[in-house]
Amino acid sequence: MIVALIIACEVGFWVLLAAGLALRYLAKMPRLGAAVLLCEPLMELVLLVVTTLDLKNGAEPDWKHGLAALYIGYTVAYGHYTIKWLDGHAAYRLAGGPKPAGAGYGKARALHEWKLWVRTVIAAAVALALLQVAIWYVGDAGDVSSLQGWQFGALRVVGIHALVAVAYTVWPSKAPAKAPADAAEDPSSLARTER
Protein backbone atom coordinates (compact mmCIF):
# COMPACT_ATOMS: atom_id res chain seq x y z
CA MET A 1 0.00 0.00 0.00
CA ILE A 2 2.87 2.40 0.78
CA VAL A 3 4.42 1.94 -2.68
CA ALA A 4 1.05 2.61 -4.35
CA LEU A 5 0.69 5.75 -2.23
CA ILE A 6 4.18 6.96 -3.17
CA ILE A 7 3.33 6.46 -6.85
CA ALA A 8 -0.01 8.22 -6.34
CA CYS A 9 1.76 11.14 -4.63
CA GLU A 10 4.26 11.44 -7.49
CA VAL A 11 1.52 11.32 -10.13
CA GLY A 12 -0.56 13.72 -8.06
CA PHE A 13 2.39 16.12 -7.81
CA TRP A 14 2.66 16.37 -11.60
CA VAL A 15 -1.12 16.49 -12.13
CA LEU A 16 -1.52 19.32 -9.60
CA LEU A 17 1.49 21.08 -11.10
CA ALA A 18 0.10 20.87 -14.63
CA ALA A 19 -3.36 21.95 -13.45
CA GLY A 20 -1.97 24.87 -11.45
CA LEU A 21 0.17 26.14 -14.33
CA ALA A 22 -2.69 25.67 -16.82
CA LEU A 23 -5.00 27.67 -14.59
CA ARG A 24 -2.39 30.40 -14.13
CA TYR A 25 -1.35 30.85 -17.75
CA LEU A 26 -3.89 29.25 -20.07
CA ALA A 27 -7.13 29.98 -18.19
CA LYS A 28 -5.79 33.34 -16.90
CA MET A 29 -6.75 32.51 -13.31
CA PRO A 30 -3.52 33.16 -11.41
CA ARG A 31 -5.02 33.01 -7.91
CA LEU A 32 -6.81 29.73 -8.47
CA GLY A 33 -3.66 28.33 -10.08
CA ALA A 34 -1.62 29.38 -7.05
CA ALA A 35 -4.18 27.80 -4.74
CA VAL A 36 -3.89 24.50 -6.64
CA LEU A 37 -0.10 24.67 -6.42
CA LEU A 38 -0.34 25.22 -2.66
CA CYS A 39 -2.12 21.84 -2.34
CA GLU A 40 1.11 20.04 -3.24
CA PRO A 41 2.41 19.65 0.36
CA LEU A 42 -0.84 17.99 1.44
CA MET A 43 0.08 14.85 -0.48
CA GLU A 44 3.33 14.47 1.42
CA LEU A 45 1.48 14.99 4.69
CA VAL A 46 -0.92 12.17 3.74
CA LEU A 47 2.05 9.94 2.88
CA LEU A 48 3.70 10.69 6.23
CA VAL A 49 0.49 9.94 8.17
CA VAL A 50 -0.19 6.69 6.29
CA THR A 51 3.42 5.51 6.74
CA THR A 52 3.25 6.27 10.46
CA LEU A 53 -0.07 4.45 10.81
CA ASP A 54 1.33 1.47 8.92
CA LEU A 55 4.20 1.19 11.41
CA LYS A 56 1.85 1.79 14.35
CA ASN A 57 -0.38 -1.07 13.21
CA GLY A 58 2.54 -3.46 13.49
CA ALA A 59 3.93 -3.53 9.95
CA GLU A 60 7.51 -4.77 9.76
CA PRO A 61 9.73 -1.80 8.75
CA ASP A 62 11.10 -2.41 5.27
CA TRP A 63 12.25 -0.69 2.09
CA LYS A 64 8.81 0.86 1.47
CA HIS A 65 9.00 2.91 4.66
CA GLY A 66 12.55 4.01 3.80
CA LEU A 67 11.50 5.00 0.30
CA ALA A 68 8.62 7.04 1.73
CA ALA A 69 11.04 8.92 4.00
CA LEU A 70 13.39 9.69 1.09
CA TYR A 71 10.48 10.80 -1.10
CA ILE A 72 9.25 13.20 1.59
CA GLY A 73 12.79 14.55 2.10
CA TYR A 74 13.22 15.10 -1.64
CA THR A 75 9.88 16.88 -1.87
CA VAL A 76 10.68 19.15 1.07
CA ALA A 77 14.02 20.17 -0.46
CA TYR A 78 13.24 20.19 -4.17
CA GLY A 79 9.45 20.58 -4.42
CA HIS A 80 9.30 24.38 -4.29
CA TYR A 81 12.39 24.67 -6.48
CA THR A 82 10.82 22.43 -9.13
CA ILE A 83 7.54 24.34 -9.07
CA LYS A 84 9.32 27.70 -9.33
CA TRP A 85 11.52 26.46 -12.20
CA LEU A 86 8.56 25.11 -14.16
CA ASP A 87 6.49 28.21 -13.38
CA GLY A 88 9.21 30.41 -14.90
CA HIS A 89 9.31 28.28 -18.05
CA ALA A 90 5.51 28.23 -18.31
CA ALA A 91 5.39 32.02 -17.93
CA TYR A 92 7.95 32.34 -20.73
CA ARG A 93 6.29 29.84 -23.09
CA LEU A 94 2.64 30.56 -22.39
CA ALA A 95 2.42 34.14 -21.16
CA GLY A 96 5.27 35.99 -22.89
CA GLY A 97 7.28 36.35 -19.70
CA PRO A 98 11.05 36.81 -19.60
CA LYS A 99 13.23 33.87 -20.59
CA PRO A 100 14.41 32.04 -17.46
CA ALA A 101 18.10 32.21 -16.79
CA GLY A 102 20.00 28.96 -17.21
CA ALA A 103 22.53 27.49 -14.83
CA GLY A 104 25.31 29.17 -16.81
CA TYR A 105 28.90 28.13 -17.30
CA GLY A 106 32.13 28.29 -15.35
CA LYS A 107 31.89 29.70 -11.84
CA ALA A 108 28.16 30.41 -12.16
CA ARG A 109 27.48 26.75 -12.98
CA ALA A 110 29.71 25.56 -10.13
CA LEU A 111 27.82 27.83 -7.71
CA HIS A 112 24.52 26.49 -9.06
CA GLU A 113 25.68 22.91 -8.44
CA TRP A 114 26.70 23.74 -4.86
CA LYS A 115 23.27 25.29 -4.24
CA LEU A 116 21.65 22.11 -5.52
CA TRP A 117 23.96 20.11 -3.25
CA VAL A 118 22.69 22.12 -0.25
CA ARG A 119 19.16 21.11 -1.28
CA THR A 120 20.30 17.49 -1.39
CA VAL A 121 21.73 17.87 2.13
CA ILE A 122 18.36 19.23 3.30
CA ALA A 123 16.53 16.34 1.62
CA ALA A 124 18.86 13.84 3.27
CA ALA A 125 18.53 15.54 6.66
CA VAL A 126 14.72 15.34 6.51
CA ALA A 127 14.86 11.71 5.40
CA LEU A 128 17.44 10.83 8.08
CA ALA A 129 15.31 12.45 10.77
CA LEU A 130 12.14 10.63 9.65
CA LEU A 131 14.00 7.33 9.45
CA GLN A 132 15.54 7.85 12.91
CA VAL A 133 12.13 8.60 14.41
CA ALA A 134 10.81 5.41 12.81
CA ILE A 135 13.77 3.45 14.22
CA TRP A 136 13.11 4.81 17.71
CA TYR A 137 9.39 4.15 17.33
CA VAL A 138 9.90 0.52 16.32
CA GLY A 139 12.64 0.05 18.91
CA ASP A 140 13.60 -3.50 19.80
CA ALA A 141 10.24 -4.83 18.64
CA GLY A 142 11.28 -5.17 15.01
CA ASP A 143 14.13 -5.39 12.56
CA VAL A 144 15.20 -1.84 11.65
CA SER A 145 18.15 -2.80 9.45
CA SER A 146 16.24 -1.79 6.30
CA LEU A 147 15.62 1.69 7.71
CA GLN A 148 19.26 2.01 8.69
CA GLY A 149 20.23 0.95 5.18
CA TRP A 150 18.14 3.81 3.78
CA GLN A 151 19.95 6.20 6.11
CA PHE A 152 23.30 5.12 4.67
CA GLY A 153 21.81 5.41 1.18
CA ALA A 154 20.80 9.02 1.85
CA LEU A 155 24.33 9.81 3.04
CA ARG A 156 25.78 8.19 -0.11
CA VAL A 157 23.59 10.41 -2.31
CA VAL A 158 24.91 13.49 -0.48
CA GLY A 159 28.48 12.30 -1.07
CA ILE A 160 27.91 11.56 -4.78
CA HIS A 161 26.26 14.93 -5.32
CA ALA A 162 29.20 16.60 -3.58
CA LEU A 163 31.54 14.91 -6.07
CA VAL A 164 29.45 16.33 -8.94
CA ALA A 165 29.70 19.84 -7.46
CA VAL A 166 33.46 19.41 -6.93
CA ALA A 167 33.84 18.31 -10.55
CA TYR A 168 32.09 21.48 -11.78
CA THR A 169 34.34 23.53 -9.49
CA VAL A 170 37.62 21.89 -10.50
CA TRP A 171 36.77 21.47 -14.19
CA PRO A 172 34.38 24.36 -14.93
CA SER A 173 32.14 24.01 -17.95
CA LYS A 174 32.78 26.33 -20.86
CA ALA A 175 30.21 28.12 -22.98
CA PRO A 176 29.85 26.54 -26.40
CA ALA A 177 31.86 28.31 -29.10
CA LYS A 178 29.73 30.29 -31.50
CA ALA A 179 29.94 29.05 -35.07
CA PRO A 180 31.51 31.55 -37.46
CA ALA A 181 29.11 33.12 -39.93
CA ASP A 182 28.87 31.18 -43.18
CA ALA A 183 30.70 33.13 -45.88
CA ALA A 184 28.24 31.98 -48.53
CA GLU A 185 25.34 33.55 -46.60
CA ASP A 186 27.11 36.89 -46.04
CA PRO A 187 27.82 38.64 -49.38
CA SER A 188 29.88 41.40 -47.72
CA SER A 189 32.36 38.87 -46.32
CA LEU A 190 32.57 37.21 -49.73
CA ALA A 191 33.37 40.57 -51.34
CA ARG A 192 36.11 41.23 -48.75
CA THR A 193 37.77 37.89 -49.37
CA GLU A 194 37.83 38.43 -53.16
CA ARG A 195 39.84 41.67 -52.88
How many independent structural domains does the chain possess? Answer: 1
Q: For residue 127, give Cα distances in angstroms to 6, 84, 97, 109, 143.
A: 14, 22, 36, 27, 19
Each of the 195 residues of the chain gets a pLDDT tens digit; together they read 778 888 888 888 889 999 999 999 999 998 999 899 888 888 888 888 888 888 888 788 888 888 899 999 999 999 999 989 999 999 999 888 899 888 889 999 999 999 999 999 999 999 999 999 988 888 777 788 889 999 999 999 999 999 999 999 999 988 888 766 544 454 444 444 444
150 closest CA partner among 77, 48, 66, 55: 66
Is residue 161 one of the residues assigned to a domain? yes
Q: Is residue 195 part of a domain?
A: no
Q: Does any domain span residue 180?
A: no
Asked if the structure places residue 54 within a domain, the reply is yes
Would you say residue 11 lies in a domain? yes
> Is this prediction's pTM over 0.85?
no
| Neighbour-count burial of 82, counting CB atoms closer than 10 A to its CB (0-12 exposed, 13-18 middle, 19+ buried) | middle
The answer to whether residue 182 sits within a structural domain is: no
Q: Report yes or no on 154 lying in a domain.
A: yes
The CA distance from 165 to 98, in Å, is 28
User: Is residue 184 domain-resident?
Assistant: no
Domain residues for 33? 2-174
